[in-house]
Chain A
């Protein structure tokens, strides 16, 4: 029986607690000087990978990967402090006008890495909270022709057999498939741990390989052009009332009752 060789893709995004602002030229959201952290769903992926090993399932190694500017290494160090064994940084320079990767490009890159690193389980977040696309895991599964279980709230690995409970509209459903497999995480899957200081120190010594898309032979040409990014139409609060009768009155006035 082969052991698990897990790949956990992580993305550096604007911290979830920060309200993003659109830049003046309406080309993107302002990112300079804004706090970034690991995409919350990716924290769940890292946590799940580490927990699978802690449940005594044979795990050969857990590799974290991120594509982006040099600062993406911060989230890789976090992933290693949480328990990943090593990391791969696919450098996407921002200074040469290289655009962000789209999910299809990321999926192609991950496919190349999966093959190069002989992975048999990839655990991704269900979506990144910046682009909100919810595509990369499914695309990777399609490119590799592997089974997929998206929006997982429970994962059980027994030998080659993986059973996943996934969140769907109206409840949950359970799927089962053999390795290799793609899983994407939903919020209910687990409670990610905090990286302790000793582990943060240890993570600095773990191996972090650097690669480029060219090294991997991946063409990630963008298919979508950003026409513009705007602020959503603001909703103005309608003020407060001081009683239940006032509330009912106002709702009637607004035609909601």
Chain B
């Protein structure tokens, strides 16, 4: 795909990069003074979203000062929560109900104003539905090429992100004056909250841009279970479960026994076994729990993209050649309709 000329240019770029690298990283303190990051904090009904705390951790890896940004109605309370988050020096608050639903049509101009006013060099958001929807619009308004879903930070302008459903890892260097980034939640642990600490809270500018889009309604799955993307244990089911009834009968008790979140493969979701929001994979959620236990999932590359960074992967499948066994730390070949209930029973007995 790349021509010889381009490869030559790349090689040049790389050889140029290598010797210059120490000078980029060694006077980190001098650089840190110039570096200032805006971390976009996502809030919902007065509560801070966990993916925002990952964005703060990613911001800390950059060095430099970090300012949080939150907008909506009654966000003073959220700002006070945020002020306790380790690493945040300042929190910018914009109190306006127009931003409650995070509509990018008015939220993007709002961010642009505050980014310009604050002179930030970096802007980081979580790679959540909110971040994905909003940040590229901000990037276009600032004429910046955003870097999506980063999993690691090499230096203030060089980032690592997965491409091709996680089948390749790209190291990319930005030449833009402002770096706009979304960070993968599972790659950066949530920044801790410390009770004693308070960051300065200031009011941001509000351009009051109108939104041509009207928010009509929402239908969110109510669940007492841990949130899929942040759960420490995930139990996942696939097409092998055969029906929604079987999915609920087999997978739910196991998840209960483990205190785990429930996930599903695309095949299971398309067949109506579980809700769309439970999909794990390239087009669903990325999870990286301590334990990912799956049953009746073959392990297509799109599914693996969403779970292969899990600490321990366990798989139950009747097909000994299923690709899932190539990544599973422990695999059990057998009929899930027998093995999973047996496992659930034994786990309950402790």
> Chain A interface (Cβ within 8 Å of chain B)?
14, 16, 19-20, 22, 25, 27-29, 31-32, 94-97, 99-100, 102-104, 107, 126-127, 129-143, 146-151, 153, 163, 167-178, 186-188, 222-232, 235, 237-248, 250-251, 254-257
Contact = CB atoms under 8 A, between A and B. Distances in A.
A130 B164 contact: yes
B173 A232 contact: no
B176 interface: yes
A32 B105 CA distance: 41
A97 B6 contact: yes
Interface string B102-119: 011100100000000000
B129 A168 contact: yes
Given A129-B282, A172-B219, A244-B343, A134 B171 contact: no
A95 B220 contact: no
A84 B278 CA distance: 33
A98 to B, nearest CB: 8
Contacts of A169: 128-130, 229, 277, 285
Give me the 10 closest cross-chain CB pairs, A-B, nearest first. A97-B5, A142-B140, A138-B136, A171-B220, A223-B145, A135-B136, A238-B329, A139-B140, A142-B137, A173-B218
Given A240-B330, A256-B291, A177 B212 contact: yes
Given A19-B167, A244-B346, A225 B172 contact: yes
A32 B1 contact: yes
A232 B169 contact: yes
Interface string B163-178: 1111111111111100
B199 interface: no
Given A139-B140, A237-B331, A171 B218 contact: yes
B20 interface: no
Contacts of B215: 173-175
A167 B164 contact: no
Given A167-B277, A243-B332, A175 B221 contact: no
Nearest to B5: A97
A216 B172 CA distance: 28
Contacts of B173: 224-225, 227
Contact of B331 (A14, A29, A177, A241): A241
B170 A226 contact: yes
Contact of B347 (A135, A178, A237, A248): A248
Contacts of A228: 14, 170-171
B2 A132 contact: no
Contacts of B154: 227
A232 B163 CA distance: 10
A221 B158 CA distance: 18
B7 A25 contact: yes
A71 B308 CA distance: 33
B214 A176 contact: yes
**Interface centre among B101, B154, B212, by most A CB within 10 Å?**
B212
Nearest to A136: B136
B10 interface: yes
Nearest to A18: B301
A109 to B, nearest CB: 13
16 contacts: A27-B6, A29-B164, A100-B1, A137-B136, A138-B137, A141-B140, A143-B140, A173-B217, A174-B216, A174-B218, A176-B216, A177-B214, A232-B308, A235-B326, A246-B332, A247-B316
B81 interface: no
B213 A147 contact: yes
B164 A104 contact: no
B224 interface: no
Contacts of B331: 237-241
Given A172-B276, A173-B219, A177-B214, 20 more contacts: A16-B302, A28-B1, A97-B5, A134-B148, A137-B136, A139-B137, A142-B138, A143-B140, A143-B141, A148-B137, A169-B285, A171-B221, A174-B217, A226-B171, A232-B168, A237-B325, A243-B332, A254-B329, A254-B330, A257-B347
A235 to B, nearest CB: 5
A153 B291 contact: no
A150 B346 contact: no
A94 B275 CA distance: 43
Contacts of B285: 169
Contacts of B276: 153, 167, 172, 188
Interface in B186-231: 211-221, 229
B3 interface: yes
B165 A240 contact: no
A98 B83 CA distance: 47
Given A149-B213, A224-B172, A237-B325, A135 B139 contact: yes
B57 interface: no
Contacts of B35: none
**Interface centre among B172, B211, B229, by most A CB within 10 Å?**
B172
Interface in B80-102: 101
B342 interface: yes
B144 interface: yes
Contacts of A171: 218-221, 275, 277
Contacts of A149: 213
A133 B148 contact: yes
